[in-house]
A and B are shown apart, each in its own frame.
Chain A
Amino acid sequence: GAGVSQSPRYKVTKRGQDVALRCDPISGHVSLYWYRQALGQGPEFLTYFNYEAQQDKSGLPNDRFSAERPEGSISTLTIQRTEQRDSAMYRCASSALGPTEQFFGPGTRLTVL
């Protein structure tokens, strides 16, 4: 695709529900990153993949958060039993392999009521 896309763009859910956020990286990009950004704050690293392999998940806040990229392209970030503190902008980025420029998606604004 022309850029990184994310869906949905906005998600409102009730506390306790599970949500799945999708990221579609730029075609051919090996690396995919997930970030969370609270209002007025810089992004916070969550996890990243090279191909289908999750390289680092140390940024995931707790075991309610998980991510997968089964075929090395589209990735899903899943939050189980959502809590109000999970409300944030969730951003995805992709890049070529290695320390190269990242291209960010538009984000998914998650609101947990």
Chain B
Amino acid sequence: KNEVEQSPQNLTAQEGEFITINCSYSVGISALHWLQQHPGGGIVSLFMLSSGKKKHGRLIATINIQEKHSSLHITASHPRDSAVYICAVRSPNTGNQFYFGTGTSLTVIP
């Protein structure tokens, strides 16, 4: 069983649609990260959360610590949002090791 589960694995959306990617985790965490991996392979950190909600431009990330669940929302999606979105958690219970989800591959069609 993976410590971090993401859904959906693949997502295709029309430009302008509101997108939600979900992440559930089973370990105690000190922080949760949302990462974006571009088609070229580069990884960029989007958000780091330990509680509540963060917003950056059209991206919104929320976390519910009690339910061990986080969501990444993209409003007014655009083809340049096409990428793999990865959820990662840092667990102090296991030496602050990071656990990663397998990613959600998003394709936004013009």
Stretch at the interface among A65-73, A80-88, A94-102: A94-102
Interface of B is mostly: strand
Q: Is the CB of B90 within 8 A of A99?
A: yes
CB-nearest residue of chain A relative to B45? A101
Q: Is the CB of A55 within 8 A of B90?
A: no
CB-nearest residue of chain A relative to B33? A102
- Residues from chain A with a CB closer than 8 A to the CB of B43 are 43, 91, 93, 104
Q: Is the CB of A56 within 8 A of B96?
A: yes
Q: Is the CB of A44 within 8 A of B100?
A: yes
Interface size class of B (residues with CB under 8 A): 20 to 34
For A31-58 the 0/1 string (1 means CB < 8 A from B) is 0010100000111110010000001101
- Residues from chain B with a CB closer than 8 A to the CB of A99 are 30-31, 48, 50, 90, 96
Q: Which residues of A contact B (CB under 8 A)?
A: 33, 35, 41-45, 48, 55-56, 58-59, 89, 91, 93, 99-104, 106-107
Q: Which 7 A-B pairs have the closest CB atoms?
A: A99-B31, A42-B100, A56-B95, A104-B43, A45-B98, A99-B30, A42-B102
